[in-house]
A and B are shown apart, each in its own frame.
Chain A
Amino acid sequence: MFAAENGLKGDPRLEAISQAIRVVPHFPKKGIMFQDITTLLLDHKAFQDTVDIFVDRYRNMDISVVAGIEARGFMFGPSIALAIGAKFVPLRKPKKLPGKVICEEYELEYGTDCLEMQVDAVQPGDRALIVDDLVATGGTLSAAIRLLERMGAQVVECGCVVGLPEVKVIDT
C-alpha cells in the first residue's frame, strides 16, 4: 500500500521526500529511470521525516526485528530499528555474512541472485519488518520474506521509500 493512499494523504512531508529523490535516466542501463535516494540522504529534514514516518507507523506494532536489504536498505533500516527498539538484521549478497547462513534465490531480469541471512539472527516468535529503498517487481523482498519465515519469524510488513507502479499488479 502507498502512504498517500493510506492515512498520509496530503502530508506535507511526503511531497518534500518525493522532491528530494533524483531520477537518473538510463542507469544502470538504457531505458531504466533510476530512482536515486542519495539526494534524499543529503536533505537532513527530508531524511529525518522519512525515518519518522516509518517509525510512527511501526512503533506500536510490536516489531522485534527490522531486516534491511543490502545495501540501500542499510541506509534506512537501522535508524528505524533504533527508534522502535528492535534488532537490526542485514540481508546480504552471498559470501558477505560470516558464520552459518541460509540462502534464498530470486530472479533477476537475466538469471538469478541470492540473498543470505545468518541463522541465529531471528527466532520463532519474532515479528519482522523488512526495509528497502525501493520495490519494483518484489522479487528481492519476496526472497527476504522467505528467509525470515524459514527461521520462524512472522513478517508483519515490508516498508520501502519508493514504490514503482508495477508493484501494484504483482501478488507477493
Chain B
Amino acid sequence: MSAVIDEDPRVNGIKTKIRVVPDFPKPGIMFQDITTLLLDPKAFKDTVDLFVERYKGRNISVVAGIEARGFIFGPPIALAIGAKFVPLRKPKKLPGEVISEEYTLEYGSDCLEMHVGAVDKGECALVVDDLIATGGTLCAAMNLLERAGAEVVECACLIELPELKASHLLPYHGYPLLGRDRLHGKPLYVLVEYL
C-alpha cells in the first residue's frame, strides 16, 4: 500500500522541480532526477518538512538512508525528528563489522551493508530513499534493520514508479512475490507518483 498526499499545496511545487532525463543511465529509462529539486531551497525544505511532519512524535529513533541519494534526504529528517541516522551502503564502504543483504538487479545482484551495533533491538526505524521502483533495495534495507532487531515503521520515498508495481516477481525468503505488494506488507509513503 502506498499513501500519496496530493492535497497539500507544497507537493505540486515539489513535483515540478523533479527533472526527467530520458535514456539515462541507458536507452529506454526515464530517469527521475532530484538534483533540480535540491537547487530550489524552498522546494527542498518543503520536501523535508512533509516527511518530518509525518514522522515527528512517533517514537522513531532510527532513520536509515540508502546510498547515495538517501543520504541527502535522510539526515535532515533524522535531525528534525530527534533520531539517529544510519547509512546503508554498497559493499566495502563501511569500516568495521557489518551485516550484508543481497538483492536482485535487472541483471545479477548487489549487496547492501549496515554496521553491526548501529541499531538496537526494539528500535523503531524509518527507511528513506529518493525513489522506489521494484522495491528490491528497500526490501534489502528492511531486512538489514529487522535482522538487527529493529521494527521498520515505514519506508519513505519522494517518488514512486507505479508501473512496476505488478510487473515483477520478487523472491522474498525464497517465496515468489505476486501482485502489487513490493514491500511485503510494510507501509510505503511517497510524495509524488509518476505514471
Question: Footprint of B on A, CB under 8 Å?
Answer: 22, 24, 27-28, 34, 36, 38, 41-44, 47-48, 51, 68, 70-72, 74-76, 78-79, 81-82, 85-90, 92, 95-99, 118, 121
Q: How far is the CB of B75 from chain A (nearest CB, A)?
A: 5
B-chain residues with CB within 8 Å of residue A90 when the two chains form the complex = 35, 38, 68, 72
**Majority SS at the chain A contact face:** mixed
Docked-complex contact B24 and A98, CB < 8 angstroms: yes
Docked-complex contact A44 and B96, CB < 8 angstroms: no
Q: How far is the CB of B35 from chain A (nearest CB, A)?
A: 6
Q: In the complex, A72→B89 CA distance in Å?
A: 11
Instruction: Known A44-B84, A79-B79; judge A97-B96 contact (CB<8 A).
Output: no
**Majority SS at the chain B contact face:** mixed
Q: How many of chain B's residues touch chain A, expressed as a range? A: 35 or more
Question: Footprint of A on B, CB under 8 Å?
Answer: 19, 21, 24-25, 31, 33, 35, 38-41, 44-45, 48, 67-69, 71-73, 75-76, 78-79, 82-87, 89, 92-96, 115, 118
Closest residue of B by beta carbon distance from A87: B39
Can you list 30 A-B contacts with CB-CB less than 8 angstroms, sorted by A residue number?
A22-B96, A28-B92, A38-B86, A38-B94, A41-B75, A41-B85, A47-B75, A47-B84, A71-B67, A71-B93, A74-B69, A75-B87, A76-B75, A78-B75, A79-B76, A81-B38, A81-B41, A82-B45, A85-B41, A86-B41, A87-B40, A87-B41, A87-B44, A88-B38, A88-B72, A92-B68, A96-B68, A98-B24, A99-B33, A121-B39
